[in-house]
Amino acid sequence: MITTSHQDDAAPVATGRAGTRGVLVSMCLSLVLVVASVSALNLALPDLAIDLSASNSALTWIADAYTVALAAFVLPLGAIGDRLGRRDVLVVGTVVFGAASLAASFTDSTSTLIAWRAVMGLGAAMIMPGTLSTITAAFPPEQRAKGVATWSGFAAAGAIIGMLVAGALLEQFSWRSIFVTSAATALAAGLAAALLAPNTKDAHPHRPDVAGAVTTAVAIGTLVYAIIEGNEQGWTDPVVIGAFVVTVVSFAAYAVLGLRTEHPLLDPALFGIRGFRAGAVTVLVQFMAVFGFFFVGLQYLQLILDYSPLKAALALVPVALAVLPTSQLTPHLVNRVGMKAVMSAGLFLLAIGLYVISFLGVDSGYLPFLGGLVLAGFGIGLSGAVGTAAITGSLGRGQQGVASAMNDTTREVGSAIGIALMGSIYGSHYRSSLPDSVDRLPADAAESVRHSAAAGLHVADHLGARGAALADGVKSAFMDGLSASLIAVSVIVAAAAIGALLRAPKTPPTAD
C-alpha cells in the first residue's frame, strides 16, 4: 500500500537545463493548457447553442465530456507516469491533446464535438499529473512549498487566462479558433517540457492496479452521467437510478479491493489521514464551485449584460488578481495561524462570494457581481493552495505522482460535478420559469427557447416588437436558474468550511 514514509527513497533528480525555474515555467505552461481548456469553451456556449442547435443538456456535455475523461483517467495515468517517467507521459499527452483539439475544430455536430472533447480530456489526464509531481520531485524540500503555491496559483488563474485568450479569439473568429489555438499551445507545451524538465519517476514502482483504475473511472463517469441525465430524463428514470447504483457499487469496490491489494492505485486508508482527507475535500469542493460558476456566470455576462466574449473574460480578471497574490501568501498564513483556520476561512469566503452573486437580478449590472467575485477570489486563493499542500504533504517524495494525481482527481471530479450540478439546476429552473407565452410560439421556436437562454434570445430578436416581452421572460428565467444553482453550491461550500473547521488538523502534514 501507499505509505508516507518513502520520500527519501526517491532517487535524486536533475532539475533540467534551466534549473528549477525552467521546470516551473514548463510545468505551468502545460498546467495552463489543461485548465484553460476547461474554461475557455464556456465563452463560446451561446455561439454553440445557435450554431450547432445545442440544448442546455448538450452544452453541459460539451463542457463536461472533457472534465469527466480527465477526472476518470488522471489517477491511473498519474501512476503510469510514476512508473514510466512523468515528463515522457506528459509529452505524449500533449500530442493526443493537440490532435484531438485540431479534429474538434472541424466538427459540425454536438455528438462529434462531445466525443473529441472526451479525447482531449484523455490527453489532459496524461499531462496533468506530471505537472505538480515533477515540481515536487525536482524541487528541494526548502523550495517545494513555494513551487506548490505557484502551481496552485496558475491552476486557478489558468482558467482566466484561457477565457481571455478565447474572448480575444471570438472577437475576430468563430468558436473553432479556440480549438486550433489549443492545438498550437499543446505543441509548445510538449516542446517546453521535453527541453526544460527532467523525466522524474518513482524509484520503487509497483505492479499496476488495474482493478483500482477501472472502478474509479466507472464511478466518476457514471456519477456525472447520473447528475446530468437525472435533470434531463427525471431522477426516477431507471437508467438514472441504475447509474447511481453503479456509482455506489464502483466506489465500494474500489475501497474493498484497494484495502486488499498490496499496492493499490490509491490506498483507501490514506483517507484516514486527516490532512489528506481535508485537502481532498477542500480541493474538490472549491473546483466544484469555481467551474460550475464559470459555466453559468459567463452566460450572465454575455446574455444578461450583453458583454462581448472578450469583455466577459475581462470581467473575470479580478478573480485572478485576487487569487495569485493570495495563494502566494497562503504558506505564510498557514505558518502563523494554522492550516485549519486558513482552509475554513478560504471556503467561507468562497461560499459568501457565490451567495452574494445569487441575489443578482436582470437589472443588477456588473458592480454587485464584481463584489461577490472578489470575495470568491480571495477564498479560492486560500483554499486552493492550502488544500493542495495538504494532499502533497501527506505522501512521500517517491509517491508524488499519485499525490499529484489525487490532487488532480479531486480538482477534475469537482469541476465535472460542479458543471453537471449547476448546469442541471440552472437548466431545470430556467425551463420551469419561462413565461406561458412560450407555449404559444411555433413549435420549433418554442423548443429552441426551452433548449437554452441563448437560443431564446435569438428567437426573440427575430420576432420584432413582439420579441421584447419574450426576451424579458427569457432573461428572468435565466436569473432564476442562476440564483438557484449558486445558492445550492454555496450551501455545499459552507458545509465543507464547517467540516474543515471541525475536522482538519491545525498544522499541515509533512512527509519529507
Mean pLDDT of 318-334: 84
Which parts of 315-452 fold into alpha helices (H)?
317-337, 339-357, 367-392, 400-433, 443-451
Which triple of cell numbers denotes residue 502?
471541525
Q: What is the pLDDT of residue 99?
A: 97
- 12 or 247, which is more confident: 247
- 201 or 180, which is more confident: 180
Q: How confident is the model at residue 189 (pLDDT cuts 50, 70, 90)?
A: very high
Q: What's the CA angle centered on 281, arms 372 and 371, to 5 degrees? A: 5
Which triple of cell numbers denotes residue 19?
534549473
Q: What is the pLDDT of residue 335?
A: 85
Q: How confident is the model at residue 402 (pLDDT cuts 50, 70, 90)?
A: low
- 103 or 163, which is more confident: 103
Which triple of cell numbers denotes residue 329?
501568501
Whether 268 contacts 254, CB under 8 Å: yes
Q: What is the pLDDT of residue 8?
A: 39
Q: What is the pLDDT of residue 396?
A: 64
Q: What Å distances lie between residue 316 and 290, 329, 362, 373, CA to CA?
A: 12, 21, 19, 8
Q: What is the pLDDT of residue 427?
A: 87
- 102 or 234, which is more confident: 102
HEC sequence for 46-97: HHHHHHCCCCHHHHHHHHHHHHHHHHHHHHHHHHHHHHHCHHHHHHHHHHHH
Q: What is the pLDDT of residue 347?
A: 96
Q: What is the pLDDT of residue 475?
A: 94
Q: Which residues contact 440 (CB under 8 A, 6 or more apart)?
A: none
Q: How far is 339 from 505, CA to CA, in rounded Å? A: 7
Nearest to 200 by CA among 271, 135, 118, 297: 135
Q: What is the pLDDT of residue 1?
A: 38
Whether 477 contacts 362, CB under 8 Å: no
Mean pLDDT of 452-467: 85
Q: How many CB atoms lie within 10 A of CB 436?
A: 7
Coil, helix or strand at residue 364: coil
Which amino acid does the sequence have at 328? Q
| Lowest model confidence (mean pLDDT) among 282-291, 457-466, 487-496 | 457-466
Q: What Å distances lie between residue 85 and 20, 119, 203, 511, CA to CA?
A: 18, 22, 10, 22
Helices 274-299 and 141-172: angle between axes, nearest 10 degrees: 10
Q: How confident is the model at residue 509 (pLDDT cuts 50, 70, 90)?
A: low
**Average per-residue pLDDT in the chain?**
86
Q: How confident is the model at residue 15 (pLDDT cuts 50, 70, 90)?
A: low
Long-range contacts of 252-261 (CB under 8 A, 24+ apart): 253/211, 253/215, 254/212, 254/215, 254/216, 254/219, 257/211, 257/212, 257/215, 258/209, 258/212, 261/1, 261/209, 261/211, 261/212
Which triple of cell numbers denotes residue 427?
437548466
| Lowest model confidence (mean pLDDT) among 77-81, 103-107, 188-192 | 77-81
pLDDT by residue (tens digit) across 282-296? 999 998 998 899 888
Q: Which residues contact 366 (CB under 8 A, 6 or more apart)?
A: 301, 305, 315
Which triple of cell numbers denotes residue 416?
465535472
Most confident of 152-166, 248-262, 406-420: 248-262
Locus of grid cell 486563493: 381
pLDDT by residue (tens digit) across 194-213? 998 888 887 776 777 888 88
HEC sequence for 427-452: HHHHHHHCCHHHHHCCHHHHHHHHHC
* For residue 17, pLDDT beyond 60: no
Q: How confident is the model at residue 121 (pLDDT cuts 50, 70, 90)?
A: very high
Q: How confident is the model at residue 508 (pLDDT cuts 50, 70, 90)?
A: low
Whether 193 contacts 94, CB under 8 Å: yes
* For residue 5, pLDDT beyond 50: no
The rounded percent of the chain whose pLDDT value lies above 70 is: 93
Most confident of 335-349, 410-424, 459-473: 335-349
Nearest to 512 by CA among 152, 99, 10: 10
How many CA atoms within 13 Å lie on the side-chain side of 11?
12
Q: How confident is the model at residue 83 (pLDDT cuts 50, 70, 90)?
A: confident
Long-range contacts of 169-178 (CB under 8 A, 24+ apart): 170/43, 170/44, 170/47, 170/308, 170/309, 170/310, 171/308, 171/309, 171/310, 174/47, 174/51, 175/41, 175/44, 175/47, 175/48, 175/51, 176/105, 176/106, 177/105, 178/40, 178/41, 178/44
Q: How confident is the model at residue 434 (pLDDT cuts 50, 70, 90)?
A: very high
Which amino acid does the sequence have at 373? L
Nearest to 381 by CA among 429, 358, 349, 351: 349
- Of 3.40.50.10090, 3.50.50.60, 3.40.50.150, 1.20.1250.20, the CATH number of 7-209+261-503 is 1.20.1250.20
Mean pLDDT of 479-506: 93
Q: What is the pLDDT of residue 420?
A: 86
* For residue 496, pLDDT beyond 90: yes
Mean pLDDT of 176-204: 91
* For residue 476, pLDDT beyond 60: yes
- 177 or 295, which is more confident: 177
